[in-house]
Structures are given as C-alpha cells and as structure tokens.
Amino acid sequence: MSVASVDASVLLRALITQDAEQSRAARALLTTDGWVFRVDLLVFAEFVHALDRHYGQSRPRIAEMVRAVVNLDRVECAAEVVLGAVARYLDHPKLSFEDCCLAERARRDGAVPLWTFDRKLAAQADCARLVGG
C-alpha cells in the first residue's frame, strides 16, 4: 500500500456535489486500490469550518460527514480524537470544532488540564481550566 495525504478540498468535493467532475474525481481517488490516505486533524478542522461557513451545514450534518470520512476504508486518521471531538462539538454548540479537537487531544494524551484564557472553552470542556481563574 502506498500512503498519501489529502486536503480538505478533496474531502469536500467527495461529499458535496457542486462540481460533478471534481466530485467524481475526488471519490475515485479516495477509493483507488493500493492507496491509503492520511487525514490530519488540521484537515478535519478546515473541513468542518468550510462545511459550516461556506456550505451552511448544520452541526448534526457536519458530524455525519466527519464520521463518513473517518469510516472510509482507505482513510487513516486519529479516529478516536476526531470522533471524540465530534461528540463534544455536538454537545457544546458554543464551542468551535477546533476547541473541541484541542480539548479531546489534551484529554486523550493525558495533558490536562488544558490551560486557557478562553472563558467559553474553560466553562464547557471539563478538561480545560481558566488561567488566573
């Protein structure tokens, strides 16, 4: 198996059909025999941001699409972190996906508390603590 990476634009094209040709190409790439695609946590953050800001998707729909990417046979990623962040993202609608990823990564890595000046994050992530608070 060969290992490659993809960026958020490939994932977006694979799941959102705005341009049929690009959508087919993205889907074909992600199902190509002999390849495994590593998807970085940063790519998931960009993917979620685009789905929210540019495509107006709801949080439940975004969560569904993130899970679909994680479950692709040829995708390798930090699935536990991504799925934990998705659950936190759904449970805490005031938190960004990026903050959910930070909190989940800190919790899973045992690097807690996650110190922050972000009051919203400290109030909603059980592993986060407010600096000076």
107 pLDDT exceeds 90? yes
DSSP string, 29-49: HHT-TTEEEE--HHHHHHHHH
Whether the CB-CB separation of 105 and 127 falls below 8 Å is answered with: no
pTM for the model stands at: 0.92
Q: Which CATH class is domain 2-130?
A: alpha beta
pLDDT at 133 over 90: no
Contact 101, 77 (CB under 8 A): no
3-state class (DSSP) for residue 86: helix
- Evaluate the omega torsion of the peptide bond into residue 93 and state whether it is cis, within 30 degrees of 0: no
pLDDT in tens, 39-78: 999 999 999 999 999 999 999 999 999 999 999 999 999 9
Residue 72 — φ and ψ, nearest 5°?
-65, 135
Cα 123 to Cα 120: distance, rounded to the nearest angstrom: 5
